[in-house]
A and B are shown apart, each in its own frame.
Chain A
């Protein structure tokens, strides 16, 4: 019997752990007939950005995380994080996995590990303490808490003043009134306990951005498994795992939205807002695709294929 150690930097109650990582380990155990089991570590081994290298260096056998935490390392991630891709994390995640298999993995960014899945979070929306939510200028001058990466650029492009801080500091920034709002998916607003701090939300059709995630395995550990075990694990990871991840985020977003009932007024962005924001964000989209193309993959083709696959997934339901 082989035991895979899973590094975990999130509280065990987080849906990414309880609804994805735990079921994944159960499915691996089941598929391999109990010959491969997992041990999820109770406490983090280090900060979230360190986790990709934990898998590379064999500190843990399986790790998961956000590519954006390692700036400069992953450029193909950009394509899946662009604005207005879609409302369903499941559709985006499945489409993302397909373009990863077909094109993105050729960039070589994941050559040091065995990739079990890449997927995205549900769409990022706008949350504010106050403001004229129907105006196209609603973001103008608002201090918006951002992490790094595309969210910073999206907030700037919409005229907001970006206030930087890790997501664990979001509560402090909003409750002290240092930030006026945040760009987040519904799930994260609820998870980080921010609902009491906010009053308005603008649901942006297609989402303002997505966040890309990975689940990877140490290469040596993977190669130590029998070809049969590898095949069994492949049967429950890859696209199947990306789909389960997307569904998990969609459910978490639905629960987050339900928790806002009566606390945050959620409106849908108007046509005028969407027109203005699409124009404002086009330069960000172009720059991100150009950055992804630096890796040598045909980024525009990958972007087009991503959108086509999302449409296929969404239409197929």
Chain B
């Protein structure tokens, strides 16, 4: 598992690198273009929006992989140790279910947007593919949110 986690992480990290550098580079190119050459980057604002969504949703598997969903630990810290993996497992099922529903609904929504040819305002880039991408990332995040705590539980039970 740990080797696979590492490989997946490397892949996600490289994709993140490309997306984030583009996100940053676009503002820089737009501002320099506008200020120095009177020629801003056409569609910079909407490209920023598309990249933002890509970064957020691609980040979800990374969060789930590290089991780092933010939780309120005010009470749970005081529960006995033996209960923790079980609690984590139940929460993994809950989170996995919610994320699976979210993934499903984003997929449906993307299909709806694709149905009428929804696109960005200036560059007319189709929105549906981004929707499918976000849905796929969420589904992947759902599987990891469920799988990582259950795997830990299984390993602990085996000793």
Contact = CB atoms under 8 A, between A and B. Distances in A.
CB atoms of A and B under 8 A apart anywhere in the complex?
A: yes
Interface of A: 53, 56, 68-73, 109, 141, 143, 147-149, 152, 161-166, 178
Contacts of B46: 148, 164
Contacts, number: 50
Interface stretch (B17-25, B35-43, B96-104): B35-43
A149 B124 CA distance: 10
A72 B40 contact: no
9 contacts: A68-B121, A71-B118, A72-B118, A147-B121, A148-B122, A152-B121, A164-B40, A164-B44, A166-B45
Contacts of B43: 164
A149 B121 contact: yes
Contacts of B34: 143, 161, 163, 178
Interface of B: 34, 38-40, 42-46, 109, 112, 116-122, 124, 126
A284 B118 CA distance: 22
Contacts of B118: 70-73
Most buried by A among B38, B112, B117, B121: B121
A122 to B, nearest CB: 21
Contact of B122 (A69, A143, A161, A164): A164
Given A164-B45, A165-B45, A148 B121 contact: yes
Contacts of A71: 118-121, 124
A133 B83 CA distance: 75
B63 to A, nearest CB: 24
Counting from the closest, the 3 A-B pairs by CB-CB distance are A148-B121, A72-B119, A164-B45
Contacts of A69: 121
Nearest to B38: A161
Nearest to B41: A164
B134 to A, nearest CB: 15
Contacts of B117: 72-73
B130 to A, nearest CB: 13
A54 to B, nearest CB: 12
Contact of A72 (B42, B44, B126): B126
Nearest to A156: B42
Nearest to B31: A178
Most buried by B among A69, A72, A73, A162: A72
